[in-house]
Amino acid sequence: MGTGPLLVVLLIAIALIIFLIIKIKMHASMALLIAAFFVAFVTQVPLEKITDTIEKGVGDTLGFLTLIIGFGAVLGKLLEISGGAQRLASTMLKTFGKKHATVIMALLGLICGIPVFVEVGFVLLVPLVFVVAKEAGISRIKVGIPLATALMVVHCILPPHPAATAIAGTLHADIGMVILLGLCVAIPSLLIGGPLYAHFAIPTLDTDLETTKGESSELALTYNEKDEKDLPGFGITLFTILLPLLIMVVRTICERTLPADLVAMKWINVIGNPITALLISVLFAYFSLGLHRGMKLDALQKLTDGSFGPIGGILLIIGAGGAFNAVLTASGVAPGLADALSNLPVSPIILAWLIALVLHFAVGSATVAMISAAGIVLPMLSANPSLSPELLALAIGAGAIGFTHVTDSLFWMVKEYLHISVPQALKTLTVGTTITSVVALGMTLLLSIFI
What is the structure's pLDDT at 340?
Answer: 67
- Percent of the chain as helix, strand, coil, to the nearest 5: 85, 0, 15
| Nearest-angstrom CA–CA distance, 304 and 284 | 14
**How many other CB atoms sit within 10 Å of the CB of residue 416?**
12
**Interacting residues of 424 by C-beta distance below 8 A, sequence separation 6+:** 141, 415
- What does the pLDDT look like over 127-184, one tens digit per residue? 788 878 887 888 889 999 999 999 999 999 998 888 898 899 889 999 999 999 999 9
| Nearest-angstrom CA–CA distance, 65 and 162 | 7
Spatial contact of 63 and 57, defined as CB atoms under 8 Å apart: no
- The angle subtended at Cα 27 by Cα 117 and Cα 32, nearest 5°, is 95
What is the structure's pLDDT at 339?
Answer: 65
What is the structure's pLDDT at 316?
Answer: 86
> Dihedral, CA atoms, 231, 232, 238, 240, nearest 10 degrees?
-130
What is the structure's pLDDT at 195?
Answer: 94
**C-alpha 401: how far from its chain's center?**
9
Q: Which of 338, 444, 380 is nearest to 172 (CA)?
A: 380
**Interacting residues of 305 by C-beta distance below 8 A, sequence separation 6+:** none
> Dihedral, CA atoms, 413, 157, 173, 66, nearest 10 degrees?
-30
What is the structure's pLDDT at 216?
Answer: 40
What is the structure's pLDDT at 113?
Answer: 83
Query: How many Å from the N-terminal Cα to the C-terminal Cα in the chain?
Result: 36
Q: Which of 216, 194, 158, 196 is nearest to 404 (CA)?
A: 194
What is the structure's pLDDT at 179?
Answer: 93
Spatial contact of 406 and 367, defined as CB atoms under 8 Å apart: no
**Interacting residues of 364 by C-beta distance below 8 A, sequence separation 6+:** 21, 22, 405, 406, 407, 408, 409
Q: What is the pLDDT along the chain (451 residues), one digit of tens a residue?
A: 677 788 788 889 888 887 888 788 888 889 889 999 999 999 989 998 999 999 998 888 787 678 887 888 888 888 878 888 788 888 888 888 888 889 999 998 998 888 777 877 787 787 788 878 887 888 889 999 999 999 999 999 998 888 898 899 889 999 999 999 999 999 999 999 999 999 888 765 434 433 443 334 344 434 444 667 778 998 998 898 888 888 988 988 898 888 878 888 989 989 988 889 889 999 999 999 899 888 899 999 999 988 887 778 878 887 887 888 788 888 888 777 666 665 667 888 999 999 889 888 876 778 888 988 888 888 888 778 888 999 999 999 999 999 888 768 788 778 877 888 888 888 899 999 999 999 999 999 999 998 8
| Nearest-angstrom CA–CA distance, 297 and 170 | 37
What is the structure's pLDDT at 349?
Answer: 93
| Nearest-angstrom CA–CA distance, 12 and 298 | 51
**Angle at which helices 312-331 and 28-42 cross, to 10°:** 10
Residue type, 131: V
- pTM of the model as a whole: 0.73
**Interacting residues of 384 by C-beta distance below 8 A, sequence separation 6+:** 342, 348
| Nearest-angstrom CA–CA distance, 422 and 415 | 7
| Nearest-angstrom CA–CA distance, 266 and 53 | 32
**C-alpha 102: how far from its chain's center?**
21
- What does the pLDDT look like over 64-83, one tens digit per residue? 678 887 888 888 888 878 88
**How many other CB atoms sit within 10 Å of the CB of residue 187?**
16
> How many residues appear in the chain?
451
**How many other CB atoms sit within 10 Å of the CB of residue 49?**
13
Helix residue ranges, H only, 273-347: 274-285, 297-308, 312-331, 333-342
**Angle at which helices 140-157 and 162-170 cross, to 10°:** 30
Distances (CA, A) of 233 to 33, 94, 97: 46, 14, 19
3-state secondary structure of 100: helix
